[in-house]
Structure 1
């Protein structure tokens, strides 16, 4: 039976999109719910709340996607600059780069002779790949992917923001502030569980972290929203 080089699936391979997705969903849920709780405290009509929520969802998703794209693009530019520098050094100072790679393998536990043999073999196979991986720390999995991160961030923001908006339509108007707050806490708990499952992390610590910090952020932003909401009337 044929086996691939890596039969086991490593959950850390998901890091390049999981971070953006969790951050986007968390931000979408907290920021939208906080805004709506603050505005709802000012006794605004349900129709106005719905329009406010949709505006927050649209603007937030676009802002999150654009911000993530710019951030990861900057990281990608830095990685490209490092690769260009390595390529220049390999072209103009190959012996020094070979010695540098040898020393890297020596620090990882190989004796000088074996480290040199490994460095020579990997240099002959793909010198730039060897230096990118072992000197800079870049691999195909870890390289910045702006489009992936941007899309994951924007869509996950929408997924998070849609929950409190649905709440406006389904929850009783008389207790909307407390109902939205409770719904948001439930959403934060679900987000913590999902992110823990996807990342292979312990569920309870991950969920507690998301809920606690999410509630603190929601309380702070909803107080500000309530203050300005009331003051605007």
Structure 2
């Protein structure tokens, strides 16, 4: 299967899920369409695993995507939100391990992600249920760590990874703002889903070596 076909299948499945998400009221019916995009990414990663830019990290990448897949399912059900958050924290930790370039230290990136993390904590923490305060702080730290790890790689071949990390942070920030402020909007919900799945796409596709390289 050609690489562009994987891309078409992925975004077609994402759009299908977004449409059904705005129609179906029974969240359990959304499970198949919610996991199909991630399953496509897993299939793509397995097929092109020999092109992975990060040596000996294939198994970690696969575990991360599986954790994200189950995390996506958990977020469909309010009672499983805490479990989903834990799965995402672990996934972000593994992403950080995969992407972190230990040969370089970017002070500007560290400062930038720390400032954004503090801003996010200040913005959301007073509106979060007390039982979720610590998990949310840990998740924000994990998300910022992942962002820094991606940007610690200084090369134009990592451009898709930069986009992926930025979209991931944007999507999660928007999701938190919408949910904590009890905003009901089909447009913003679609934006969150599109940017979230696009982030996952960029992180996977951006981690594989281009055939022309």
Which TM-score band (shorter chain)? 0.3 to 0.5
Question: When the two structures are superposed, what TM-score results if normalisation uses the length of structure 1?
Answer: 0.32
Which structure has greater helix proportion? 1
Determine which structure has greater relative contact order: mean sequence separation of CA pairs < 8 Å that are 6+ residues apart, divided by chain length.
Answer: 1
User: Larger Cα Rg: Structure 1 or Structure 2?
Assistant: 1
